[in-house]
Amino acid sequence: MRLFVALRVPDAARKHLEEFLEPRLDAFPVRWTPPEHWHLTLAFVADAPERTLDALSENLRSAVGRHRALPTRLAGAGAFPDPFAARVLWLAPELDDGERHELLRLATACRTAAATAGIAVDGARFVPHLTLARTPRPTPAHRWLQVMETYSGPAWTATEVELVASHLGEARRNARRHEVLERFPLGPSAG
Tell me the catalytic residues. Answer: 39, 129
72: three-class secondary structure by DSSP? strand
| CA distances to 70, 77, 128, 150 from 132, in Å | 21, 10, 13, 15
> What is the C-alpha separation between 76 and 84, in angstroms, rounded?
17
If we measure between CA atoms, which residue out of 35, 34, 38 comes closest to residue 7?
A: 38
> What is the C-alpha separation between 148 and 163, in angstroms, rounded?
28
Give me the helices (H) in the chain, please.
11-21, 53-65, 97-116, 142-148
